[in-house]
Structure 1
């Protein structure tokens, strides 16, 4: 009986299924989570500043608290998930991320506002490791494509989040955020039905039999983190400083340009996941970052329609590697899948937030144009570092 059970477990592990329903559920929940955390929170800073009569230092604390609680907690929850998975954190994370932002409508002061923002960020930090682990289980042999589907949901949320600000929040004020609370409860209908399947996959892949075997490649993982940080600085730098660079545009027009950049990145994420199956992850990473370099270099010198086209192609190429870096990191850290997901997604977001503060100091001294000149060199540096990564064919599959 014990031998039969072991054989069943081995069979289940060695013949994983591609489960589209689960993938689209993870992608949809990723959309909801990133819509409110990395999509709406930065765009809401202007409204929070006016509503609470904040200065610029207090205003930047909102983004800092959001990024720190979400990014720093992701690797920590990833390590906890590796030791003792708790699948219900997948549902709880989405609920907290939306609820936290909704409750800012009721915040009576800045400290309470930061508490609710921290709650939202914490929910995001809880959500990502379990959702990324589940995506890994549902991917079958299509690891890169599955992560692309998952990441496109998050990127779409980031792109659409700022567009929601001028659509309805401008007319209702901060108080209108309370209408996100019903969405938080409705998210359970999306996530809870998947928990039984997710728990079964976790149980199958626990114990001495693993879905992935092999040794962790620490030096490769460290190098990949550096590449992710450079890409994140580039992405967040464009999103944050684009409205300042085009100072003659209205807030609504600047958010549309951001949508072009991040929306093109979402498309690039999907295409990158598909192409990596043919090109390989390392090759796609090097090629995409290299191709992004001329678009980055040209952007500060273009205006009007050409600038929009260049921005679209820039976002398409520089973010084409977004999903494959998650799979790449899982290959580099096969013994710590949850930690791998936390490092690639969490550290990327956190590094972007810290990088934006650094670039803010640069812009105060040398001007916003200098920031875009600096940003244009980051993809090239990322491409050079990517060339020294270990080939994924030499890693465990």
Structure 2
């Protein structure tokens, strides 16, 4: 059902553009509030940690009893959070505001992924890619939001995004009505949909090991992406003499290619296998990531294009892979994988910010360049197969 696929993907874009305001406002807060890198990292930690911890919980509750109108309800918290961020006069108020945004995100993501799955039919990779590319596109807007809205207007410029949150609430109300009708239709037909898995019959031990490996991969990817999206701009300013706006536009290139990679990753996994895409996504960028901190600026831009595309190929694929590992827990697996990505990003923000304060910007960029190597544990994942009709 393509209208629903694109509608939920569009709201994912709106939701993640609200979250993108947080890293986008970092340069403003550093100048206006005089915050340290560690304090900036703690802001991102509060946002992502709330979203990380609550997403699996929301997914689990949704698996037990789906709640269609939780979608607009959760988005209302994001609306309040973005309003609070725009006008917060104190640091602690900023932290509370971003936690409200995190709560709204925690409610949206597992339920949004469920809607995407319900509309997918047999095109799970494509549907999850449409859904996730919406979110990654929203995240990609962070540098543009910073360069063209927040830097000129300051902290209060974030108030513009109250309108974005209100639009998301309106669209989600319509999607929730469709979601409710689908659940009523399933109940009327007295049948329960069964998710066929491309992974075959695995023992509980094999499933547990595979989930563990998947979480390690998400850790490596999320830590590295956070280092680029939230802190690489300071490396560009220090090493190449970029202005703040120029640096942010370079980050936009990375995020935009990441969104493109996310879109192609799902259909590619439908064709060549989910494990193959997951491994390629982390293996191909390794030499590029290792070179990135040391090359001249023109080469850095080229490397960021390829790193952004390849490292995000597996973003939607890891969600589908986890759902097929535990086919009875669609919402829980979506909440776990996407929630962990948020959580690892949260911890990464604090660790990277603290490293920059203690050892400097360039040494920190060198350290994080080794992270994609960890993703090679994906070679040990169970191989998926072509699905057969039930």
Could you say what secondary structure the match of 1:334 adopts? Answer: coil
Residue pair 2:28, 2:150 contacting (<8 A) in 1 also: no
2:109 maps to which of 128, 146, 165:
128
TM-score by structure 1 length? 0.88
TM-score by structure 2 length? 0.89
Note the residue ranges of structure 1 that are not aligned, 5 or more in a row.
1-18
Give the CA RMSD over aligned residues: 2.3
Whole-angstrom distance in 1 between the partners of 2:116 and 2:228? 29
Residue pair 1:260, 1:311 contacting (<8 A) in 2 also: yes
Whole-angstrom distance in 2 between the partners of 1:131 and 1:221? 22
Name the structure 1 match of 2:173: 192
Residue pair 1:29, 1:187 contacting (<8 A) in 2 also: yes
Comparing 195-204 and 384-393, the one that deviates more? 195-204
Residue pair 1:260, 1:312 contacting (<8 A) in 2 also: yes
1:351 maps to which of 324, 344, 354:
344
1:373 maps to which of 344, 366, 371:
366
Whole-angstrom distance in 1 between the partners of 2:89 and 2:360? 36
Residue pair 1:212, 1:396 contacting (<8 A) in 2 also: no
Structure 1 residue 75 displacement after superposition: 1.1
**What does 1:74-223 correspond to in 2, within 5 Å?**
74-203=55-184, 209-212=192-195, 217-223=207-213
Note the residue ranges of structure 2 that are not aligned, 5 or more in a row.
none
Structure 1 residue 58 displacement after superposition: 4.1
Whole-angstrom distance in 2 between the partners of 1:41 and 1:161? 8
2:234 maps to which of 240, 244, 248:
244
Whole-angstrom distance in 2 between the partners of 1:205 and 1:330? 20
Name the structure 2 match of 1:390: 382
2:299 maps to which of 306, 312, 315:
306
Whole-angstrom distance in 2 between the partners of 1:55 and 1:306? 30
Deviations 1:74-122 (A, max 9, x none): 1111111111211111222233224311232233433333222211111
Deviations 1:140-160 (A, max 9, x none): 111111111111111111111
**What does 1:13-28 correspond to in 2, within 5 Å?**
19-28=1-10
Whole-angstrom distance in 1 between the partners of 2:282 and 2:38? 34
Paired residue total = 377
Residue pair 2:85, 2:94 contacting (<8 A) in 1 also: yes
Query: CA distance change for structure 1 residues 90 and 59 in 2, over 3 Å: closer, same or farther?
Result: same
The alignment status of 1:65 with 2:55, answered yes or no, reads no
Whole-angstrom distance in 1 between the partners of 2:287 and 2:182? 44
The alignment status of 1:285 with 2:267, answered yes or no, reads no
Structure 1 residue 314 displacement after superposition: 0.8
Whole-angstrom distance in 1 between the partners of 2:259 and 2:275? 20
Could you say what secondary structure the match of 1:212 adopts? Answer: coil
Whole-angstrom distance in 2 between the partners of 1:175 and 1:245? 27
Residue pair 1:228, 1:344 contacting (<8 A) in 2 also: yes
Whole-angstrom distance in 2 between the partners of 1:114 and 1:367? 25
Name the structure 2 match of 1:10: none
Query: CA distance change for structure 1 residues 60 and 231 in 2, over 3 Å: closer, same or farther?
Result: closer
Name the structure 1 match of 2:259: 266
Structure 1 residue 276 displacement after superposition: 1.1
Flag the structure with more relative contact order, 1 or 2, with Cα contacts below 8 A and sequence separation at least 6: 2
Residue pair 1:332, 1:395 contacting (<8 A) in 2 also: no
Could you say what secondary structure the match of 2:25 adopts? Answer: helix
